[in-house]
Amino acid sequence: MAKAAWVTGGASGIGAAVSRRLASQGYRVLVTDVDESGGSAVASEIGGIFKRCDVTSPADSLDAVAAATEAFGGLDLAFLNAGVATGFALEEGFTPEAYRRVMSINLDGVVYGVHAALPALKARGGGNIVATASLAGLTAVPFDPIYGANKAAVVGLVRALGPVYANDNIRVNALCPSFAETAIIANVRDSLIGAGVPLLEVSDVVAAFDSILAGEGTGEAWYVQVGRPAEPFAFRNVPGPRTPAGDKAPSADASVQTSLGEA
């Protein structure tokens, strides 16, 4: 039986490129997007199916998984890729409505996608969830703090979920590219080039996606940077708690100890 994948934001850019790659590897692909024309074109090109999905709607994500399950008999992979640029700070240009829109797409869309995909992946005996975050989720982003915040939240979510679902044979990882040649950077592309920032080719991001699937890790954030091989970012654990006497504080639960920090 062919494996089945669900790709959000699949009408263009990284989502479209990954959809093509998955189809070339034998996956049956459900392409979803709010761009019905672009999404339908990609799905038709790769022999997949298209469904409109607004990732800010929990019901849309549930409907997408149901459509994949009905069409393909199950789900093996969810690539939660839909995202938008922010383009404003906390002073000029800020509105609660604009803030909620970007947070809803870039963060809530991943949360709702994970929630929708998990039962189908468990029913399949395991699988993969890959969420598109960003290099902005691994470092400070003074020029776009809201984007940095929602992408850092995606990284934190993935790192937390990885160990939770490892026993279900479900791997949860994040793809964290630098600036890539996609429509999402259209408004800042000239500024980036003028500042000497090298841009990733989409093919480099797809190669990193392939590496995630080929690996065995979970709860990882794979950075993709120009001129470097993609690999999991090495997070340093926070310092662990100590007793008043300065000794290591005991913890009965290994997962709690991990959250509290290392010795």
User: Active-site residues: which are they?
Assistant: 147
Helix segments in 180-220, DSSP class H: 189-194, 202-214
Residue 24 CB burial class (10 angstroms; 0-12, 13-18, ≥19): exposed
| Strands 231-232 vs 221-224: parallel, antiparallel or unpaired | antiparallel
Q: Which two tokens stand for residue 92?
A: 């000029």
Nearest to 18 by CA among 244, 210, 239, 252: 210
What does 235-255 look like in DSSP terms, one character per residue? PPPPBPPB-TTSPBPP-S-HH
Distance CA 131, CA 118 (A): 13
Cβ-based neighbours of 95, under 8 Å, separated by 6 or more: none
